[in-house]
Chain A
Amino acid sequence: MSVDASPDNGSRLPKRLAQGAVLVAVAALLGLLVWKVATRDSGGAAARLAASKGAPVAAPQFTLPRITGIAGSGPGSIALASLRGKVVVLNFWASWCVPCKRESPRLQEAYSRFAKQGVVVLGVDAQDFTGDARRFANRYKLAYPIVHDGSGKTLTPYGVTGFPETFFIDRKGMLVGKRIEGEISAKQLAEGIKLALGA
Chain B
Amino acid sequence: MRGALGLLVLVAALVVAAPTLASESRPTLGELEGEVMCPTCKTTLDMSSSPVANRIRAFISARIAAGDTRSEIKRKLVDEFGPAVLASPSKKGFNLLAWLLPLVGIVLGALVLGWLAWTWSRRRTGSDAADADGPPGQPLDAEFEQRVDEALARYEE
Mark A112-153 against chain B: 1 for CB-CB distance below 8 A, else 0.
000000000000000111101000000000000000001111
Q: How far is the CA of A153 from the CA of B79 in the complex (A)?
A: 14
The answer to whether A94 and B82 have CB atoms under 8 Å apart is no
In chain B, residues 24-64, which have Cβ atoms closer than 8 Å to a Cβ of chain A?
39-40, 51-52, 54-55, 59
The answer to whether A127 and B81 have CB atoms under 8 Å apart is yes
The answer to whether A150 and B52 have CB atoms under 8 Å apart is no
Interface size on B, residues (CB 8 A): 14
The answer to whether B84 and A127 have CB atoms under 8 Å apart is no
* Chain A interface helix/strand/loop/mixed: loop
The answer to whether B52 and A96 have CB atoms under 8 Å apart is yes
- Residue among A127, A128, A130 with max Cβ neighbours from chain B (10 Å): A127
The answer to whether A127 and B51 have CB atoms under 8 Å apart is no
> Does B145 make an interface contact (CB < 8 A)?
no
- In the complex, which range does the number of interface residues on chain A fall in? 10 to 19
The answer to whether B82 and A128 have CB atoms under 8 Å apart is no
Chain B positions within 8 Å of A129 at CB level = 55, 59, 80
**How many residue pairs bridge A and B at CB < 8 Å?**
31
Closest to A94 in B: B52
In chain B, residues 108-134, which have Cβ atoms closer than 8 Å to a Cβ of chain A?
none
The answer to whether A128 and B84 have CB atoms under 8 Å apart is no
The answer to whether B52 and A130 have CB atoms under 8 Å apart is no
Q: How far is the CA of A15 from the CA of B82 in the complex (A)?
A: 46
Q: Which of B52, B54, B59, B83 has a CB less than 8 Å from the CB of A127?
A: B52
Mark A141-181 against chain B: 1 for CB-CB distance below 8 A, else 0.
00000000011110000000000000000000000000000
Binding site for B on A (CB under 8 A): 94, 96-97, 127-130, 132, 150-153
Additional A-B contact list (8), CB under 8 Å, known A96-B52, A151-B84:
A96-B55, A127-B52, A128-B80, A129-B55, A129-B59, A150-B80, A150-B81, A151-B81
